[in-house]
Amino acid sequence: GSNPTSNPVDVFRCYIAEELAKISGVDIELVYPALEWTQSMDKGDLILAVPRLRIKGKKPDELAQEWADKWPENDFIEKPQVHKAFLSFFFKGSMVAPLVLNDILKRKENYGPVNTGKGKRIIVEFSSPNIAKPFHAGHLRSTIIGGFLSNVHEACGWDVIRMNYLGDWGKQFGILGVGFKRFGSEQKLIDDPIHHLYEIYVQINKVITEEAEIEKAKAEAEGKKFDKYNKQTYKGPTDDEARAFFKKMEDGDQEALGLWKRFRDLSIDKYKTTYARLNIFYDVYSGESQVSTESLNKAAQMMKDKGISQEDEGAVIIDFAKLGAKKLGKAVLQKKDGTSLYLTRDIGAAMERYEKYKFDKMIYVVASQQDLHLNQLFKILELLGLDWYKKCQHINFGMVQGMSTRKGTVVFLDDILAGARDSMHEIMKKNADKYGQVEDPDFVADTVGRTGVMIQDMAGKRINNYVFSWDRMLSFEGDTGPYLQYAHARLSSIGRKVREAYPEGLDVTKADLTLLKEPHAVNLIRCLAQYPDVLQNTLKTLEPTTVVTYLFKMTHLLSSSYDVLRVLGENKELMLARLALYAAAKQVLGNGMKVLGLVPVERM
Ligand code: ARG
C-alpha cells in the first residue's frame, strides 16, 4: 500500500508521488510504492521504473520523457533525469539535511524501526544446542543469526518469543546416564557441566564403539542380518544398558529422570551465562523432552487417519513419494520399540506451539544440513491439513570451515568468545598510548572480540559458507567487527574533543544544518536517511548482511569525510552543523549495531 514509512525524507517521496500522479493520471497508490531508493547517488535519490506502472498503449520511454517535460519547478526536487524508461529524482540539497538530521537527533534510539509488526507475534527458534554434545559452528551461527532476527522483529513492533529448542532427549541421554555412573564426578558436574558431560559422552562412546567392533566381528563370523531402521547395528552390553536407561526415562522412572533433569538444569544455567555475553535472553527453554506424549500420540493418530503414515517391519514410516513429494524420500516416524524420533518430536512441538502461541510466523534458524528435515516437517504439517504450516519458515545457513579454538581443541561457544577476548586484548596492548586511556580494557577487549566473531558470521549471505579466521576477524582493516567498533569510537571521540574544547557546552540543536552542502555531507545524510528502509527491507530478506552491508557503507562514507568535513578549527556555525552530522551518524551506527546484537564502544 502507500503507507509512508517513518523515513524522514519520505516527505519527498510523497511529494514526488503526488506530482507524478497529477501529471500522469496514475493513482498515487500505485506510484508511491513504485518509487525506489537507488543504490548509488549518480542514479538519483529515488528512481521510478515506468514499466512497473503497467500503462497500456504507450511506450514507457515516451511516457518517461513526457512526464519529465511536464515536471513543475519547485523547492524540493530537481527536474527528473530520463534514462530510457527510468526517471531519476534528485533532492534539492539544502532541504534534506535539516529534515533528516533533526529527525534522527530527536528520535535517538527510536530512529529506524517502523511499527509494521504491531499486533503480530513471531516465534524465533534458534541456537538449540544438544546437551552433552559440543556447541558447534552450526549452533554459533544459529545463535548469532537468530538473535539478530529476534531483535529486528522486536524493534519493528512484533511480539517476539525467543525460543531455545534443546536437544535434550533421546538415547544419548541413556548413554550419558550410564556414562555418568561410570565416569562422572559430582563436583565437576556442578563446576563445569557442559565440558564435563561432553567428556563423559566421549569416554562412554569410546566404550560403546569398542564393544560394537567386537560384536561386528562376531556377527560377521556368523553371517547375521540386522534391522534396517536401527542406525547402530552392532550393540554391546554398554549400549544395551544405555538403551535400557533411556527406556526408563521414557517410562517415567524417577531416578533416571532425576539425573537427566540435573544434567539439563545445570547445562541451561551455564548456557544462560554464555548467551548473556551475547545479549541474548530466551523467553522459553523448550526442548525435545518437553513435547508431551499426548501431542505425540495425537500427531501419530492424525497421520494414521489421513493415510500419511504406514507400517513397515514393525516401525511406522512415511513415504513421501506416495504423497506426491518424491524428493523428500522416506522417513521413520516411530521405531520398532515404539519410541519417537527427532522428526516426530518436531511435529508434536510445532502443533503445541501453535496451540499455545497462535503465532503469525515461526522461524527455525537451523543449518542448511537440515534442509531436508525441515522440508519434511513442513510437508507433514501441510499434509495434516494444518493451514498454519504456511507461517513456518526455515532460515538456513551455510557452514563454517576450520573453526577451532586457538589451542585446537573442540569448540564450545565460551572458548571461542574467550579466545577472541584474549587476542583482542593482546592487540590493544600493542598501542600503549591508547590502551592507557581505556577505562575498562577487559570489557573493551571482550566486546570488540565478540564483535569480530559476530561480524565475521553476519557479513555474507547466510547460505554462504565461510572460513573461520582468527586473524581476519580481529583485524582493524577491511570490513571487520573491530573496524565497525573503531568507527563508532571515532565518532564518540569527535564529540568528546569538542566538549573538552568548549567546556561551557554547545547546543547542537541550534545548528544551521543548511550549511551542510558538501557532497560528502550530502552523501552521508542520504545514507543516514535510508536506515528505516534498510530495516524494513531486512524483514523481507531476513539476512543480517542487509544491515551489515549498510553499516559498512556508512562507515566508509565516514572515513572519507573526516578530512573534508573537519570540526574543530572551523568557524563556530559550521562546526556546530558538522557536529550535528557526526552526532546523527553516531546515533544511526549505534542503533544498527545494537540491532545486530553488538554493544558499541565509546573508546578503544
Ligand atoms: N538440536 C538440533 C541440532 O543441534 C537443532 C534443532 C533445530 N530445531 C528443530 N526444531 N529441529 O542439530
pLDDT in tens, 411-439: 678 888 999 999 999 999 999 888 998 99
Last residue in a domain, options 373, 400, 427: 400
Residue 130 domain flag: yes
CA distances from 16 to 72, 85, 102, 104 (A): 11, 17, 22, 23
How much is the pLDDT for 506?
A: 86
**Ligand 1: which residue has its CA nearest to atom 4?**
129
Q: Which residues of 320-347 are buried (b: 16+ CB within 10 A; e: fewer)?
A: beebebeebeebbbbbeeebbbebbbbb
Specify whether 182 is located in the same domain as 70.
no
Task: Give the whole-angstrom CA distance, residue 385 versus residue 366.
Answer: 24
How much is the pLDDT for 379?
A: 98
Per the structure, the count of domains in the chain is 2
Atom of ligand 1 nearest to the CA of 374: 11
How much is the pLDDT for 405?
A: 65
pLDDT band of 458, cuts 50, 70, 90? very high
**Ligand 1: which residue has its CA nearest to atom 11?**
346
How much is the pLDDT for 1?
A: 35
Residue 490 domain flag: no
Specify whether 56 is located in the same domain as 162.
no
Kindly report the average pLDDT of the chain as a whole number.
92
How much is the pLDDT for 374?
A: 98
Question: Is the confidence at residue 375, as pLDDT, over 50?
Answer: yes
Question: Which amino acid type is present at position 204?
Answer: I
Specify whether 205 is located in the same domain as 73.
no
How much is the pLDDT for 233?
A: 67
State whether the beta carbon of 366 lies less than 6 angstroms from ligand 1: yes
Specify whether 44 is located in the same domain as 127.
no
Specify whether 57 is located in the same domain as 136.
no
* 379 DSSP β-pair partners: none
Residue 542 domain flag: no
The answer to whether residues 31 and 53 touch, using CB atoms and an 8 Å cutoff, is yes
How much is the pLDDT for 130?
A: 92
Last residue in a domain, options 385, 400, 415: 400
Grid coordinates standing for 3? Answer: 503507507
Strands across the sheet with 330-334, in order? 309-312, 315-319, 330-334
Specify whether 59 is located in the same domain as 166.
no
State whether the beta carbon of 167 lies less than 6 angstroms from ligand 1: yes
Best-predicted range by mean pLDDT (106-115, 355-364, 533-542): 355-364
Atom of ligand 1 nearest to the CA of 139: 4
Residue 72 domain flag: yes
What CATH number should be reported for the domain holding residue 394? 3.40.50.620
Among 145, 168, 366, say which to mutate for ligand 1: greatest number of ligand atoms within 8 Å of CB.
366
Arithmetic mean of pLDDT, 401-407 = 73
What is the CA angle 286-287-291, rounded to 5?
Answer: 95
State whether the beta carbon of 130 lies less than 6 angstroms from ligand 1: yes
Residue 434 domain flag: no
Each residue of 204-256: pLDDT tens digit?
Answer: 999 999 998 898 888 878 877 665 555 546 889 999 999 999 999 988 999 99
**Ligand 1: which residue has its CA nearest to atom 6?**
128
3-state secondary structure of 510: helix
Question: Which amino acid type is present at position 175?
Answer: I
Please list the active-site residues: 133, 136, 139
Helix extents (H) in 431-518: 432-437, 441-458, 470-473, 481-501
How much is the pLDDT for 407?
A: 62
How much is the pLDDT for 228?
A: 56
β-strand 400-401 against 466-467: which pairing, if any? parallel
Q: Structural domain of residue 67, as residue ranges?
A: 10-91
How far, in Å, is the centroid of ligand 1 from the Cα of 127?
8
Does the ipTM exceed 0.90? Answer: yes
> 305: part of which helix (H) or strand (E)?
helix 293-305
Most distant pair of Cα atoms in the chain: their distance:
95
Specify whether 146 is located in the same domain as 267.
yes
pLDDT band of 3, cuts 50, 70, 90? very low
How much is the pLDDT for 134?
A: 75
pLDDT band of 2, cuts 50, 70, 90? very low
Each residue of 546-575: pLDDT tens digit?
Answer: 999 999 999 999 999 999 999 999 899 999
Specify whether 40 is located in the same domain as 172.
no
Task: Give the whole-angstrom CA distance, residue 33 versus residue 319.
Answer: 45
Specify whether 155 is located in the same domain as 271.
yes
Specify whether 49 is located in the same domain as 136.
no
β-strand 361-365 against 35-37: which pairing, if any? unpaired
How far, in Å, is the centroid of ligand 1 from the Cα of 393?
14
Grid coordinates standing for 590? Answer: 549505534
Last residue in a domain, options 355, 372, 400: 400
Specify whether 368 is located in the same domain as 228.
yes
State whether the beta carbon of 346 lies less than 6 angstroms from ligand 1: yes
How much is the pLDDT for 227?
A: 58
Each residue of 169-179: pLDDT tens digit?
Answer: 988 899 999 99
Give me the percent of the chain exceeding a pLDDT of 90: 75
Among 128, 141, 372, say which to mutate for ligand 1: greatest number of ligand atoms within 8 Å of CB.
128
State whether the beta carbon of 124 lies less than 6 angstroms from ligand 1: no
How much is the pLDDT for 347?
A: 98
State whether the beta carbon of 380 lies less than 6 angstroms from ligand 1: no
How far, in Å, is the centroid of ligand 1 from the Cα of 192?
23
Arithmetic mean of pLDDT, 287-303 = 96
How much is the pLDDT for 226?
A: 61
How much is the pLDDT for 4?
A: 47
β-strand 121-125 against 159-166: which pairing, if any? parallel
Residue 156 domain flag: yes
Residue 164 domain flag: yes
How much is the pLDDT for 125?
A: 98
How far, in Å, is the centroid of ligand 1 from the Cα of 128?
6
Specify whether 387 is located in the same domain as 261.
yes
What CATH number should be reported for the domain holding residue 60? 3.30.1360.70
How far, in Å, is the centroid of ligand 1 from the Cα of 345?
11
Indicate if the alpha-carbon torsion angle 485, 486, 489, 494 is positive or negative: negative
State whether the beta carbon of 128 lies less than 6 angstroms from ligand 1: yes
Indicate if the alpha-carbon torsion angle 484, 486, 492, 497 is positive or negative: negative
How far, in Å, is the centroid of ligand 1 from the Cα of 236?
28
Q: Is 516 exposed, middle or buried (0-12, 13-18, 19+ CB in 10 A)?
A: buried
How far, in Å, is the centroid of ligand 1 from the Cα of 178?
24
How much is the pLDDT for 327?
A: 97
Question: Is the confidence at residue 484, as pLDDT, over 90?
Answer: yes
Among 165, 359, 371, 412, say which to mutate for ligand 1: greatest number of ligand atoms within 8 Å of CB.
165
Residue 215 domain flag: yes
